[in-house]
Chains A and B, each alone.
Chain A
Amino acid sequence: MSKLYSGAEIVFKCLEDQDVEYIFGYPGGAVLPIYDELKNHESIKHILVRHEQGAGHAAEGYARSSGKPGVVLVTSGPGATNAVTALTDAYMDSIPLVCISGQVPTHLIGTDAFQECDTTGITRPCTKHNWLVKDVKDLSKIMHKAFEVATTGRPGPVLVDIPKDIQFQKTKYVSSIKRKKLNGKIHNKFNQSEIDQLVKLMVNSSRPILYTGGGVINSGPKASELLRELVSLTGFPITSTLQGLGSYPGDDNQFLGMLGMHGTYEANNAMHDCDLMINIGARFDDRITGKIDEFSPKSKKVHIDIDPSSINKNVKVDLPIVGDVSEVMLSVIKTLKKKNSNFASSNKEKTSKWWEKISEWRSVNSLNFINSDKTIKPQHAIQRLYELTKDKDTYITTEVGQHQMWAAQHYKFNKPNRWMTSGGLGTMGYGLPAAVGVQIAHPDKLVVDIAGEASVLMTIQEMSTAVQYNLPIKIFILNNEYMGMVRQWQELLHEKNYSESYTAALPDFVKLAEAYGCVGIRAKTPDELDEKIKEMINVNKPVIFDCLVDKEENCFPMIPSGKPHNQMLLGPNDQKENKITGKGKTLV
């Protein structure tokens, strides 16, 4: 007879089978049997966070920067509800997470027991799938399936809820059985005729654009290589969503910068005026499309996505291709090479007018800002940070708000998995715990959280985690004392009624850093900025960098809500905007 294992042992055997190295968690009554078992499994290290939301975001940071699923372990009731924000964040941004939660013993479920909540009910809409384990015999099967669901197709979070009595009960262990497909859910449905159609569209296009998203990152490093090959083979311009940054070099000439609400003038205008739009692993989010009815009216649209429900959800497309973007791009490249070996050169002439137009838009220099020698402009701070860290293979995380958009605009990424930001859900407080997770995955790399002072306060307690595990993360706060993006919307749309967007009693971040046992650095003027940033980089400890920036700087360019792509608001110093677009000056 084979050996019997307790539920808690089975959890760890499954984690070992799945090559899990780190779990991010917080103990509590209903998961104590699992925590008791932790000491017997040396290959798995537990990272103790200070709040379960932090565990979730740290696991997200780990997953995004390493390509492996992040594992979270929380207790029942408040442990699980605290993890909900992170699960929803991972769901929106397609990050593979496996969350294991304790539950009250089976016989107490439904009795409003202490620290009981309907965890599977609460997390149903924010996970790809979840399970309540009612029989210990199902546990190993469910655990393996949880990893399979989280990591296949369009990745996402899953949750396994394990009642305390199940953690004690004993049964046989079933190791993972690799299956070819998951309940009929096939992910690569595309065929050669679709590829041929796409190639035909590419050959015939005179104003093409590639619009790439997080799917390229999720498809693995190979996808980024293939994308680079595809771009150089076709000579097409390329723009990327917030989540796709890094899949194509940000400093390359064919790259038009980020598109969308705070995207560049050239990227948005090219999206609006193109005749062929090839969407690779992006999802036509409302921050990208602006007004749907006037979104890129003259183009044929191709959408390559692994998730069939992403297609035609927001924007009707002419050619949908359901599949892993790596495999689709590989097929496209092969077909292009076979049929038109000198496509790039023959295409050069055809698209030359298009490139001229793009250069015209580029000359507007939409990311420009009026620099100052008295106060630090936030854009300048990010440019300096970029210049001083670009040779170090730096990993950047962010919180949510103006600083996030400035980071996306001014920090240029050359490799995938170096940029971790909460895009879909827009979770303030994401960046600090995410940086913890990134540093765990890459202990020797420089990890910087570009933060706002309001966002960072939402999860500041995780500094304590960083100190405990000697994680030298750098929290680079662009401190303007306002919830900057809220303030910006209030200025532009709500008659400068700055309702509750100013934080009147901020902590002294330098002293706060010292209180946590890390290093605090403050920069007040542009003169001292470079020195201070260098100081931050050279400290081998966690650092909170309090960068005092201009309090009223707005993030431009910007597509106001309800407007199409060619009606952008440019910065205040751009007096030419009227001449450029004709109708571009529409102030909201």
Chain B
Amino acid sequence: MSKPKSAYSIPGKKQKNDTHVIVVWVDNEAGVLARVVGLFSGRGYNIESLAVAEVDPKLNISRITIVTTGTPQVIEQIKLQLGKLVPVHKVADFMRGDKKIIFKEMALLKIVGNNVKRKKAIKFCKKFHPVVLDKTNKSVVIQITALRREIDTIMNDLKKTGLVSVSRTGAVAMTRGAEVFK
């Protein structure tokens, strides 16, 4: 065994990482996003994507959707630590791949190229109901809504058709059916 030269213990066994989508309902007040994001960076948790907007202007509630990876223990900690923040009302945690949950992400894709390439690009996106938001004789801006992984794939496919710029919202989530998370 190597000689530990520190006053701290050596790290134990590593568990497997899972991807989770954490949804947090917060008071929409100054600094609340910094509190949530600061908690993640301060405790060494990972953020893959983050989407936030006010959802209830009357009650002043914002909904933050965070995609994160971590061991089951870390995910549990994230939820409990978030729950301790004063402006946080509730915290939901969905495992990626959970059939009861809808995950969606929107992307804007700018293609620059000749007519053939632009047509090809739109064809690639067909599966995700592409909406053409802007077009010139050199370029086209396509809006698609899809899963995170699907957008990753399509970005790869579109490289050869002249993809020059991508903007993504980060995933948002909602439960299927009549149920509402309480």
Interface of A toward B, CB cutoff 8 Å: 120-121, 124-125, 128-129, 132, 134, 149, 182-185, 286, 289-293, 307-309, 311-313, 316, 489, 493-494, 560-562, 588
Contacts and interface: CB of A to CB of B under 8 A. Distances in A.
B89 A313 contact: no
B9 A124 contact: no
Given A289-B9, A290-B9, A309-B80, 20 more contacts: A124-B34, A124-B35, A124-B38, A125-B38, A129-B85, A182-B86, A286-B9, A291-B9, A307-B84, A308-B80, A308-B83, A313-B77, A493-B4, A493-B5, A493-B6, A494-B5, A561-B6, A561-B9, A562-B9, A588-B3
A562 B4 CA distance: 7
Given A124-B34, A125-B38, A309 B83 contact: yes
A353 to B, nearest CB: 31
B73 A125 contact: no
Nearest to A156: B84
Classify chain B's interface size. Answer: 20 to 34
B89 A489 contact: no
Given A121-B34, A125-B38, A289-B9, A560 B86 contact: no
A125 B4 CA distance: 30
B177 interface: no
Contacts of A562: 4, 9-10
B89 A309 contact: no
Given A124-B38, A182-B86, A312 B9 contact: no
A137 to B, nearest CB: 15
B30 interface: yes
21 contacts: A121-B34, A124-B35, A125-B38, A125-B42, A128-B84, A128-B86, A129-B86, A149-B86, A184-B89, A185-B84, A286-B8, A293-B12, A308-B83, A308-B84, A309-B84, A312-B76, A313-B77, A493-B6, A561-B6, A561-B9, A588-B3
A121 B35 CA distance: 9
A293 B13 contact: yes
A489 B77 contact: no
A560 B76 CA distance: 30
Contacts of B5: 493-494
B92 to A, nearest CB: 14
B36 to A, nearest CB: 11
- Residue from A125, A134, A309 whose CB has the most chain B CB atoms within 10 Å: A309
A309 B7 contact: no
Nearest to B13: A293
A562 B7 CA distance: 9
B90 interface: yes
User: Which among B3, B42, B86 has the highest number of chain A CB atoms within 10 Å?
Assistant: B86
B72 to A, nearest CB: 9
A89 to B, nearest CB: 17
A339 to B, nearest CB: 32
Interface in B44-81: 73, 76-77, 80-81
Nearest to A313: B77
Contacts, number: 72
Given A316-B73, A494-B5, A588-B3, A183 B86 contact: yes
A494 B10 CA distance: 17
Contacts of A493: 3-6
B31 interface: yes
Contacts of A316: 73
A183 B76 CA distance: 20
A124 B10 contact: no
5 smallest A-B Cβ distances: which pairs?
A309-B80, A562-B4, A562-B10, A129-B86, A293-B12
A209 to B, nearest CB: 21
Contacts of A312: 73, 76-77
Nearest to B39: A125
A150 to B, nearest CB: 11
Given A149-B86, A561-B4, A588-B3, A124 B12 contact: no
B182 to A, nearest CB: 11
Given A125-B42, A312-B73, A312-B76, A120 B31 contact: yes
Contacts of A290: 9
Nearest to A158: B86
Given A132-B30, A561-B4, A184 B90 contact: yes
Contacts of B3: 493, 588
Contacts of A560: 4
Contacts of A149: 86
Contacts of B35: 124
Given A129-B86, A182-B86, A184-B90, A309 B10 contact: no
A323 B104 CA distance: 38
A291 B76 CA distance: 22
A285 B38 CA distance: 22
B22 to A, nearest CB: 14
Nearest to A485: B7
Interface string B76-108: 110011011111111000000000000000000
Given A132-B30, A184-B90, A562-B9, A588 B83 contact: no
A561 B10 contact: yes
A562 B6 CA distance: 9
A309 B6 contact: no
A167 B113 CA distance: 61
B34 A561 contact: no
Given A290-B9, A493-B5, A588-B4, A124 B31 contact: yes
Nearest to A293: B12
Contacts of A309: 77, 80-81, 83-84
A61 B7 CA distance: 27
B10 A291 contact: yes
Nearest to A486: B7
Contacts of B38: 124-125
Nearest to A129: B86
B53 to A, nearest CB: 21
Contacts of B90: 184
Contacts of A588: 3-4
Contacts of B34: 121, 124
Nearest to A145: B86
Nearest to B89: A184
